Amino acid sequence: MTVAEKLRSLYPRLIADEGGIAEMFDAQATVDTPAGGRQEPEGFLAETRGWLARHAATSSEVHTVVTPGRVVHELELELDSGGARVQVPVMLVADVAGGIVRNLRIYHSTWPLTGRHVVRHPLMPYTLTERPPEPVGTYHEALGRGDADAADGVFEADGMVREPAGGRWVYRGPERTSWYRAVLSQGPIVLHLGTITDDGETVVYEYMADRWGKDAMPPQAGAAAYQRGLSGKLCAARIYDDVEPPASLSQA
């Protein structure tokens, strides 16, 4: 089994209560999650196994990016919460070497489960000066200027953007254009990058957000995946963070 296959099977195996999962991790590996912070793999596996069982979780695959030093896997969990089934998009970012996981960072919003956002403190130095590959470089700069039309302009006509909450918070075409104009109406979203992963189809970056609009906020970690369509423009953008929007915005 390749390291990408191991990562893709992680949550299904935890849901199935299988053993032997810790073998995918290096002896010195760490796992960082929104709920548990930085842990050793054994602690993460035990806690997550129990959490998934309590919420009667199921999982489905979304997308996987494989490069020599990093594997990114996106999935969607469906969980029991408050008497209803809720969807939680999840991104796994694994630094890999020699067929094993050296470090694993997990990104998802807590809002679908709790109705509130929790600050996710920075996980790494966010000092990367490399410009993301196109069209993501143009998009990233547009966010930093608060230029909604430029950000929206890197998408194909039917391209999709999905908020961290997933579910119904997905926008295409004119709805996507309106969404960017709304979220940037208060000013720029400033993201400082920590990693960039690109397999030629999809660009993933991990970031620290410290400004949305006019006011600074506590620095907090997130990640996003930007998938190119056949035209070279984006066919999809999927965001994974727990950043609180400015009070004047109503969406999660």
Kindly report the length of the chain: 252
Give all strands (DSSP E) within the chain, no chain letters. Answer: 25-33, 37-39, 58-66, 70-81, 84-97, 100-107, 155-162, 170-172, 189-198, 202-212, 216-228, 234-240
pTM metric for this prediction: 0.95
- Domain shared by 149 and 217, yes or no: yes
Give the domain range for residue 175: 136-240
Domain assignment present for 246: no
Asked if 149 and 94 sit in the same domain, the reply is no
Apex 188 CA angle, 187 and 190, nearest 5: 150
**Residues of the chain predicted below pLDDT 70:** 248-252
Asked if 67 and 15 sit in the same domain, the reply is yes
Alpha helices (H) along the chain: 3-15, 41-54, 111-114, 136-145, 148-152, 173-183
Q: How many domains does the chain have?
A: 2
Residue 252: what pLDDT?
40
Domain check: are 78 and 172 in the same one? Answer: no
Residues 161 and 231 in one domain: yes
What angle, rounded to 10 degrees, do the helices at 41-54 and 3-15 form?
40
Please indicate, yes or no, if residue 187 is contained in any of the structural domains. Answer: yes
Do both 81 and 141 map to the same domain? no
Whether residue 91 is found in the same domain as residue 17: yes
- Residue-wise pLDDT tens digits, 212-221: 988 788 999 9
140 and 100 together in one domain: no
Residue 250 located in a structural domain: no
Tell me how far apart the alpha carbons of residues 244 and 233 are, in angstroms, rounded to a whole number. Answer: 28
CATH number at residue 192: 3.10.450.50
Q: What is the pLDDT of residues 221-242, one digit of tens each?
A: 999 999 999 999 999 999 999 9
Residues 101 and 141 in one domain: no
Q: Are residues 152 and 219 in the same domain?
A: yes
The per-residue pLDDT for 249 is 67
Is residue 143 located within the same domain as residue 209?
yes
Q: Rounded to the nearest 5°, which phi and psi values hold at 21? A: -75, -30
Contact predicate 209/220, CB 8 Å = yes
Q: Which residues pair with 202 in a beta bridge?
A: 227
